[in-house]
């Protein structure tokens, strides 16, 4: 008498295999999405940090120009008026909606006491010129380097004869969005 041994099929069926592959694919896709979002968030944080430093630099330049005019002029009031003239009445006209930017590349060092007063204030047209990044020096400027993607705009509000509001806005584009960070400070005529 012959005995037939029944074999049990112990493998996966095609449907089970497809379901397992789908679950695995969805989990890998979710992991990749989380990783790419993390990289994007890191890039945004880095660029926002750079923009904050550039905006703060704009405020500090304006404060330094004010201090230089006031401290090194014959009379502090004359220095304050010269500073206001540079920002409001000069060709740059930083008090208009478009604002201005400063270019410190061609400083005139013939007057060693006040080289920063030689900074050119340039009125922005529809937009300000983009900052360039010089990778050999690690500096942002308007003369050499590659487009950094950052644009700095300085605007001035004439609050009173003894007070100016300085706004430094840095904007950049990342992905499909445009971002900006603005620092604001009041500068006073602190001498009589």
pLDDT in tens, 149-171: 999 999 999 999 899 999 999 99
pLDDT at 87: 85
Contact at 8 Å (CB) between 69 and 59? no
Which residues in the chain show pLDDT less than 50? none
**65 burial via Cβ count (<10 Å: 0-12, 13-18, 19+):** buried
Q: Strands 146-160 and 177-188, how do they pair? A: unpaired
pLDDT at 41: 80
pLDDT at 148: 94
pLDDT at 1: 60
The CA-atom distances, in angstroms, between 147 and each of 103, 132, 133 are: 15, 5, 6
Find the helix or strand (DSSP H, E) in which 155 lies: strand 146-160
Whole-number average pLDDT of the chain:
85
């Amino acid at each position: 008498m012959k005995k037939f041994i029944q074999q049990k099929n112990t493998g996966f069926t095609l449907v089970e295999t497809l379901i397992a592959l789908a679950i695995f694919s969805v989990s890998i896709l979710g992991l990749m999405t989380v990783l790419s979002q993390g990289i994007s968030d890191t890039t945004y944080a880095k660029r926002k940090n750079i923009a904050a430093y550039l905006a703060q630099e704009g405020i500090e330049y304006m404060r330094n120009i004010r201090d230089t005019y006031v401290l090194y002029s014959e009379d502090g009031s004359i220095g304050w008026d010269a500073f206001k003239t540079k920002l409001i009445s000069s060709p740059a006209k930083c008090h208009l909606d478009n604002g201005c930017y400063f270019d410190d590349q061609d400083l005139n060092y013939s007057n060693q006491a006040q080289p920063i007063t030689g900074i050119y204030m340039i009125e922005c047209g529809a937009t300000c010129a983009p900052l360039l990044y010089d990778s050999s020096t690690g500096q942002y400027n308007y003369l050499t380097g590659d487009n950094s993607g950052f644009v700095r705009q300085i605007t001035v509000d004439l609050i009173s004869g003894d007070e100016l509001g300085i706004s430094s806005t840095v904007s950049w584009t990342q992905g499909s969005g445009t971002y900006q960070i603005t620092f604001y400070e009041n500068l006073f005529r602190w001498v009589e």
